Amino acid sequence: MQSTALTLSPLTPLLRPLNKNPNHRYGSLWNLSSLKPLVLLRSINGLSFQKASHLSSCSRFNARRINEPFLISDGRCDGFKVRATPVPGNVGDTNDSSGLATSMQLGAMFAIWYILNIYFNIFNKQVLKVYTFPATVTAFHFGCGTLMILIMWASNLYHRPKLTRSQLAVIIPLAIVHTLGNLLTNVSIGRVNVSFTHTIKAMEPFFTVLFSVLFLGEWPTFWIVFSLIPVVGGVALASFTEASFNWIGFCSAMASNVTNQSRNVVSKKFMVKNEETLDNINLFSIITIISFMLLVPAAILLEGVKFSPSYLQSAANQGLNIRELCIRSLLAGFCLHSYQQVSYMILQMVSPVTHSVGNCVKRVVVIIASVIFFQTPVSPINSLGTTLALTGVFLYSKAKQLKPKPKVAS
């Protein structure tokens, strides 16, 4: 894999060489910049009526009048009175335009979701490549998210929730596994190619089914099990042929699958009462804040204080461009929290299955973008494995739409 440094300003490398012969690992540079007010007539079954004689039968009108607020019957079959009432224009056109606007909004949100995800993975990989402290980097990401959440609540852009003890008892375990999932993902991204990490994370449906069986007693249908075959086979094939493969990166990505899917199962098993539930955005916000509070002391314990001025000055003396490191760390934290917020907003507008399919497409987009940006060497067999795994994830999403036929009592 070729390591690259993203140039936020012309000729500003992340690593600054100390001599005239800079390390070739950081030599290639990239620039993202390349990268009707009154209705008098009413239409019934496609015909416009102005007089009672145009209506063929009294019974037909009586059957329709409950849905026609501006038509008043006098109780006789030989006629009726018509009263014009101010109502909106063509209802069908209004519904069509409303549906089109919603579709365009969703399309824009999906595009923002994907773009932010791509930029996060690029910035994050560049930072972790030269600043090999994943716990500190992850804590910094949560810190950026916490700051954005506090600004959102303080400016009344979104209502601040009122937490109860019962809610905290459920949220804290979710925050713990959320923290572990993000930390392990960053460990993997720092060790192997971004494309390989996301290929391994395509195994998430497998662990979803496994934990649902073990902890919830929910057995999958035949088609769900069938869809998992290309997922497992594709990940295995991609792993065997991955140029950047190492066990720490592989196991970290696989462990992040375990934590992320166990979080989903735990949230389903220990869900609080309906009257106490939080909306998705506030739930994610609370989890982010708790994750930041948990990971800061853990990062200091595991890696030491690696973001102090004295340490950064020492790193700068060794050739690290501190300004570019800080800028890209901030951008990575912003992109991470923003794309997750957009993801939850989309989930509130579409079904879980549609969201799952969108997440599958997102993974494809991220893999392709990272391969192109970092010029990752990909063999034909590796491409086949990745394609198989992602196809299996798509089939899994569609299989969840198929409801098992109810058994007919004999």
Here the tokens at position 31 are: 């620039």
**266 Cβ contact partners less than 8 Å away, ≥ 6 residues apart:** 173, 174, 177
Name the β-bridge partners of 48: 43
Residue with tokens 């070729």: 2
**For residue 197, is it left (φ>0), alpha (ψ between -120 and 50) or beta?**
alpha
For the chain, the structural domain boundaries read: 107-402
Please report, as a single letter, which amino acid is at residue 291.
Answer: S
Coil/strand/helix, residue 402: coil
Q: CB–CB of 223/402 below 8 Å?
A: yes
For the full predicted model, state whether its pTM sits above 0.85. no
pLDDT tens over the chain, length 410 residues: 444 444 444 334 565 544 444 444 433 434 444 443 333 334 333 334 443 344 344 344 444 343 443 333 444 444 444 444 454 555 455 556 677 787 888 888 899 999 999 999 999 999 999 898 999 999 999 999 999 999 999 998 888 888 888 888 888 988 998 999 999 999 999 988 888 888 888 887 888 788 878 877 878 888 888 888 888 888 888 887 777 788 998 899 889 888 877 776 666 655 544 445 677 788 889 999 999 999 999 999 999 888 778 888 888 888 888 889 999 999 999 999 999 888 888 877 877 667 777 887 888 888 888 888 988 888 888 888 888 888 888 888 788 777 655 544 44
Coil/strand/helix, residue 71: strand
